[in-house]
Structure 1
Amino acid sequence: MTCESKNLILDGYSLSYDKIVEFIECPSIQVALSAAAIERVKHYRSAVDQWLLEDKKAIYGVTTGLGKLKDYVVDEHDQNAFQHNIFLSHAVGLGPDFPEQIVRLAMLLRANVLARGHSGVRVEMIERLLLLLNKGVIPCVPQIGSLGVGDLQPMAHIGLCMVGAPEGRACYKGEEGRSNALLKKANINPVQFKMKAKEALALIDGSTMVLASSLFEYYQVEKLISIADMAAAMTIEATRGELDALDSRIHEANNLFAEQETAQILAEFLKGTEWCTPEGRQRLGEFSPRVQDAVSIRSTAQVHGAIKDVLQYVKSILVREMNASKDNPLIFTDGVKFESLSGGNYHAAHLSYALDFMGIVLTDMAIISERRSARLLDPIMSYGLPANLIAGAGLNTGFALVHANATALVSEMRILTTPASVGSIPSKGNQEDHNSMAMTGVRKLMNMIDYAHQVLAIELLLSAQAIDLIAENMDGLAMGKGTTILHRWIRQSIEPMWEDRYILADLQKMISFVESGEILKQFKIVSPV
């Protein structure tokens, strides 16, 4: 994707997943508010200014304190100090920082939410947030602290950077330091901007960091399932699998669209293969009809298709969340008068469930990949491949320990699939007595994605090796169209192993191909997710 002269206009209502992908892949994109959003934000902000002048209404977070301090009055003359105190008291996150891609996404998403107007902030406040984003000043945001009922702690760290507080940390052009110093380097005045009434709460309320993380993780998982299709096709080729399992009639009868699409993708990769025929199987001494393969081979389309169905549901949640008012309180108008209503739109229950769902299906994707890899190592299960995928087994150990990594990774992923969404622990004097714990889901899924990259890389490395080991036996028979391209691409960078060598470097290279998505660029895969 080319990124030259790209701009993204926010209106609070039309942010799409395609625009999110473009924003992730093109860091130079400049973001601005639409003219309609500017007028809408000004209109709603007028209500907050009027309420402050009247000095009569008790409005949570505007004229009152926060949490259990909701019964304490905040005077109009204390508003500036109140806004700054909110950031100082809430910016207490711990642990490692989020990746910059996620923080950039959070800044974009929060600006889009605020552009809807219901939060009652000033246009200047949103433009300040976008100024940092467009200039490349990215706050350093710790991962631990949010309970998934508003990302108060992480977003407060962004707030400190917005106002140029020395307590804030940020990155700018690869340099990490105090936000006030880095704002100066980016030609942004660190002392010019002060938050007004309601604006600090409007920034930190809503589960924005959870949403940003969920979107970035979904973006990665969407690529992973496409790579899983490719790895499965390579293993089917290497084991000379029975292609009847991909017959479109089987999948049409099952009435699941994503499964039908997956079977079509696998069939396209294997189109033209002569290895997966009775003649191909006979080359390694298999003279009786195969009839059908084991479930990990025969039901790949069903399992991968089911995973994609879940991911489609997750995507629908994320897209709706991107264009929703995630704040408390929210301001509404009937065209004549304004009303402030307190509610719970900040709660990330649906995001927490979605994160758990992604973790579950990602783990099962890794489980079936590991099972396919295991078959490649066994001469019986692979129908004649050399033991441990090495010639001269005994003197050479081959790929047994490479595969052991997949077993270990799947074991860890199984533990991580324990749902975070049912782990609510009350906090803040029981004012927040139900928490989604969505940030726990975010942090678990980060690890699971890393592990899944490695499991798929192992299957690709092993299946490529298997193909090389029997290529001489299969001389004169064609491989599938897609598997031929994929195998050749892998072999441009990673040589087959004819006897034991230090194979970790090759495995790490294969993992980097999967993590970067480079391997996907060799194909135009139309995925149902």
Structure 2
Amino acid sequence: MIELSGHALSLDKIERVCFENELVSISSDSMERVKNSRKAVERIVSEKKTIYGINTGFGKFSDVTIDESDVNDLQLHLIRSHACGVGEPFPEEVSRAMLLLRLNALLKGFSGIRPIIAEQLASLLNKRIHPVIPQQGSLGASGDLAPLSHLALVLVGEGKVFYKKHIISAKAAYLQEVMNPISLQAKEGLALINGTQAMTAMGAVSWLEASKLAYQSEMIASLTIQGLEGIIDSFHPAIHEARGYPQQIEVAKRIRDILQGSSLVTRQGEKRVQDAYSIRCIPQVHGASWQALDYVKEKLEIEANAATDNPLIFNDGELIISGGNFHGQPIAISMDFMKIAAAELASISERRIERLVNPQLNDLPPFLSPNPGLQSGAMILQYCAASLVSENKTLAHPASVDSIPSSANQEDHVSMGTIAARHAHAIIQNTRRVLAIELICALQAAEYRGPDKLSPTTREFYNDARKVVPSIKEDRVFSEDIENITKWLKKNELSWTMTHGREIVLQT
């Protein structure tokens, strides 16, 4: 069980909750902070002080004072009116991450909610009741208003949820779990929807996929190196230490470890003096993607433990400040950075695919065909990879440089961070398919060279992958192979991990 306090939520813990369904609990210290913050809100209401979001309208309506008798209705009207997301729902694990992140942010004790709100969010997580949240409709400033409003609806017993692999009404899920919806009180609706949890949740889930895919890309590239009898000297530590980037040094070291014991690698001058960049520069290119991923991880973990609603309540209500922590620019830029990092893994992979299938660039059968001419072999697999890489280039256009004013120009600069996060997720899915295609081709090239000559690490990888995609003995519908190996890679994202950045450990 993971105890939440508002301060120590890591990507590792997010993974355990969102992918392994680990239960959560709330620390006693954080609940005390929540109670003290709530007392401040109740005092403001009773004393009839005018504070944004507690007894005023929202956005351009911030100058409209709300009567004390209407402050509770104000919160319900807020989430109903703001729940205007459209499009396909976020994946269920992203919805779960949103619940987790919103709960953790509220536990910091700056938001003025009642303890029952935090307890209800924890119950939804532990009972696996996950809001159905449309992906489109957030500008990424004033928080992820539309997505988080769909989340908040579930707390009051409205909207739809993922529950036991079905989509049902929140009301029906509550009946099955013997739970009661909540009636929102002053400040609580705003506290639930004013934040960056949609973009951060999608970003966290995407980062977890991207980082594991980056490790897999090194394993797949190592198989390609052997299929092309690549030059091992390019991975010598002296080269990479001379430049000094830690991530580049680590990639080169991991690939040397993966290739240890191979009879299919060559030395410079043995068959050629230099390999093409897509082979020779793997540590430099993959290492740069790791640099970006490391940056993104740092920002996501800061945001996962941030207070991002407005206004924030400090010093037991003595200080209440309206600010802009809901603005998603830090995450928007990070997501654009991750888009580029993942897109480059696909881009260089596609170039390695070309070297595997192009008879002018290797001594393998043309297009790895079992009967060149009569059978096309892997010819169109490269086309598919090229298409995905080109699509990634479009998706990689930065969303964070865009803005459009809203709320009658009161909210005149926005981040588009949720769009950036969604596009990052799409790029990662495309990249996994490109790497799947490289793997299919590398398996075939390794088969021609002789699987017994592979390094022990890649021979095990080869044998496992061959159970999913058999040898190309004649042309077939390769679309099925691509999808099968893609699903296998996604399912086994934790299969190839690095211990201390050095030893390759195959986990089943």
Instruction: State the TM-score bracket (shorter-chain normalisation).
Output: over 0.9
Q: State whether residues 137 and 186 of structure 1, in contact with CA within 8 Å, keep that contact through their aligned partners in structure 2.
A: no
1:303 to 282, 285, 298: 285
Find the counterpart in structure 1 of residue 170 from structure 2: 179
Query: How far is the alpha carbon of 1:121 from its aligned partner?
Result: 1.0
Find the counterpart in structure 1 of residue 128 from structure 2: 136
Q: Does 1:489 align with 2:464?
A: yes
Aligned to 2:3, what secondary structure does the other structure show? strand
Find the counterpart in structure 1 of residue 318 from structure 2: 338
Q: Does 1:69 align with 2:51?
A: no
Q: In structure 2, how many angstroms separate the alpha carbons of the residues matched to 1:175 and 1:25? A: 17
Find the counterpart in structure 2 of residue 46 from structure 1: 39
Aligned to 1:63, what secondary structure does the other structure show? coil
Please list the CA deviations of residues 407-435 of structure 1 after superposition, one character each: whole Å capped at 9, or x if unmatched. 11001111111110011011111011101
Query: How far is the alpha carbon of 1:269 from its aligned partner?
Result: 1.0
Q: State whether residues 296 and 368 of structure 1, in contact with CA within 8 Å, keep that contact through their aligned partners in structure 2.
A: yes
Closer, same or farther: CA 502–17 of 1 in aligned 2, 3 Å: closer
Which aligned pairs between 1:93-242 and structure 2 lie closer than 5 A? Answer: 93-149=85-141, 150-165=143-158, 168-190=159-181, 193-242=182-231
Q: Does 1:365 align with 2:345?
A: yes
Find the counterpart in structure 1 of residue 6 from structure 2: 12
Greater shift in the superposed pair: 29-38 or 343-352: 29-38
Query: How far is the alpha carbon of 1:288 from its aligned partner?
Result: 5.9
Query: How far is the alpha carbon of 1:289 from its aligned partner?
Result: 4.2
Q: State whether residues 45 and 121 of structure 1, in contact with CA within 8 Å, keep that contact through their aligned partners in structure 2.
A: yes
Closer, same or farther: CA 84–227 of 1 in aligned 2, 3 Å: same
Query: How far is the alpha carbon of 1:462 from its aligned partner?
Result: 0.2
2:402 to 414, 423, 426: 423
Residue identity opposite 1:261 in structure 2: E
Residue identity opposite 1:8 in structure 2: I
Please list the CA deviations of residues 63-84 of structure 1 after superposition, one character each: whole Å capped at 9, or x if unmatched. 1110010111112211221111
Residue identity opposite 1:419 in structure 2: P
Query: How far is the alpha carbon of 1:45 from its aligned partner?
Result: 1.3
Query: How far is the alpha carbon of 1:524 from its aligned partner?
Result: 4.4
Find the counterpart in structure 2 of residue 3 from structure 1: none
Query: How far is the alpha carbon of 1:461 from its aligned partner?
Result: 0.5
Query: How far is the alpha carbon of 1:277 from its aligned partner?
Result: 2.8
What stretches of structure 1 move > 3 A for 4+ residues in a row? 522-528
Q: Does 1:381 align with 2:356?
A: no
Find the counterpart in structure 2 of residue 4 from structure 1: none
Q: Does 1:451 align with 2:430?
A: yes
Q: Which runs of 5+ in 2 are unaligned?
A: 503-508
Q: State whether residues 44 and 118 of structure 1, in contact with CA within 8 Å, keep that contact through their aligned partners in structure 2.
A: yes
Residue identity opposite 2:167 in structure 1: E
Residue identity opposite 1:313 in structure 2: Y
2:389 to 365, 385, 410: 410
Residue identity opposite 1:438 in structure 2: G
Q: Does 1:245 align with 2:238?
A: no
Q: In structure 2, how many angstroms separate the alpha carbons of the residues matched to 1:109 and 1:189? A: 22
Q: In structure 1, how many angstroms separate the alpha carbons of the residues matched to 2:415 and 2:382? A: 36
Q: State whether residues 292 and 337 of structure 2, in contact with CA within 8 Å, keep that contact through their aligned partners in structure 1.
A: yes
Which aligned pairs between 1:247-396 and structure 2 lie closer than 5 A? Answer: 247-277=236-266, 289-333=271-315, 338-382=318-362, 384-396=363-375
Q: State whether residues 226 and 525 of structure 1, in contact with CA within 8 Å, keep that contact through their aligned partners in structure 2.
A: no
Q: State whether residues 85 and 146 of structure 2, in contact with CA within 8 Å, keep that contact through their aligned partners in structure 1.
A: yes
Residue identity opposite 1:440 in structure 2: I
Q: Does 1:521 align with 2:495?
A: yes
Q: In structure 2, how many angstroms separate the alpha carbons of the residues matched to 1:130 and 1:502? A: 46
Q: State whether residues 235 and 256 of structure 2, in contact with CA within 8 Å, keep that contact through their aligned partners in structure 1.
A: yes
Please list the CA deviations of residues 210-246 of structure 1 after superposition, one character each: whole Å capped at 9, or x if unmatched. 1111100101101111111111101101001010001
Residue identity opposite 1:207 in structure 2: T
Q: State whether residues 41 and 115 of structure 1, in contact with CA within 8 Å, keep that contact through their aligned partners in structure 2.
A: yes
Q: In structure 2, how many angstroms separate the alpha carbons of the residues matched to 1:379 and 1:507? A: 22
Query: How far is the alpha carbon of 1:124 from its aligned partner?
Result: 1.1
Query: How far is the alpha carbon of 1:93 from its aligned partner?
Result: 0.8
Find the counterpart in structure 2 of residue 462 from structure 1: 441
Q: In structure 2, how many angstroms separate the alpha carbons of the residues matched to 1:441 and 1:524? A: 29
Aligned to 2:453, what secondary structure does the other structure show? coil
Q: Which runs of 5+ in 1 are unaligned?
A: 1-6, 282-286
Q: In structure 2, how many angstroms separate the alpha carbons of the residues matched to 1:173 and 1:21? A: 20
Query: How far is the alpha carbon of 1:175 from its aligned partner?
Result: 2.8
Please list the CA deviations of residues 32-87 of structure 1 after superposition, one character each: whole Å capped at 9, or x if unmatched. 210101111111211111111111x2211001110010111112211221111111
Q: In structure 2, how many angstroms separate the alpha carbons of the residues matched to 1:75 and 1:220? A: 48
RMSD of aligned C-alpha atoms? 1.7
Q: State whether residues 136 and 172 of structure 1, in contact with CA within 8 Å, keep that contact through their aligned partners in structure 2.
A: yes
Closer, same or farther: CA 145–244 of 1 in aligned 2, 3 Å: same
Aligned to 1:340, what secondary structure does the other structure show? strand
Q: Report the number of matched residues.
A: 501
Q: State whether residues 268 and 481 of structure 1, in contact with CA within 8 Å, keep that contact through their aligned partners in structure 2.
A: no
Closer, same or farther: CA 512–441 of 1 in aligned 2, 3 Å: same
Q: State whether residues 237 and 483 of structure 1, in contact with CA within 8 Å, keep that contact through their aligned partners in structure 2.
A: no
Q: Does 1:37 align with 2:30?
A: yes
Find the counterpart in structure 2 of residue 507 from structure 1: 482
Percent identical: 38
Q: State whether residues 207 and 348 of structure 1, in contact with CA within 8 Å, keep that contact through their aligned partners in structure 2.
A: yes
Q: In structure 2, how many angstroms separate the alpha carbons of the residues matched to 1:304 and 1:172? A: 39
